[in-house]
Amino acid sequence: MGALANCEIAGVEVEGQDATVEVIILTGTVFHTLKVPSAERVLKLNRSARVLNYPYNIQRIRVGVMAGAEVWDKCGGRAPEGYAGAVPAVHKDAAVRAVIEYIDREMGASNDEQGF
């Protein structure tokens, strides 16, 4: 079961409000297409993480995949080829988070602005 859940993001392309995510899975490469998530959806996704406090000043962050899968669904996510059945929630979550990371990198400070 763990092998089926594994996926690796190979690339993200964003054109306007549409994103395409290249994902490498057990059976090969698949492409997920979805609308770029709104700031409200990203905020809700980020708030779904839970911080667990353990003894000796140890903290762990637990991130559930269902929140990301829900965002994928609400953004019209599709992966028309490559899956025999439904797209696993883990893959949906990975695709959504890849788009968010891509947008964050592109919208972040450039190398010239980092010193300010």
- Write down the pLDDT at residue 51: 87
**Among candidate residues 103, 111, 86, the one with its CA nearest the CA of residue 16:** 103
Taking a C-beta distance cutoff of 8 angstroms, is the pair 89, 32 a contact?
no
pTM of the model: 0.82
**In 3-state terms, the chain is what percent helix, strand and coil (to 5)?**
35, 30, 35
Q: Report the pLDDT value the prediction gives residue 80, as an integer from 0 to 100.
A: 86
Q: What tens-digit pLDDT sequence spans the chain (116 residues)? A: 455 568 899 999 999 999 999 999 988 999 999 999 999 999 999 888 888 999 999 998 888 889 999 999 999 999 988 888 899 999 999 999 999 999 999 887 666 655 55
CA distance 102 to 13: 8
Q: Is residue 30 a contact partner of residue 23, using CB atoms and an 8 Å limit?
A: yes
Answer for the pair 14, 99: CB distance below 8 angstroms, yes or no.
Answer: yes
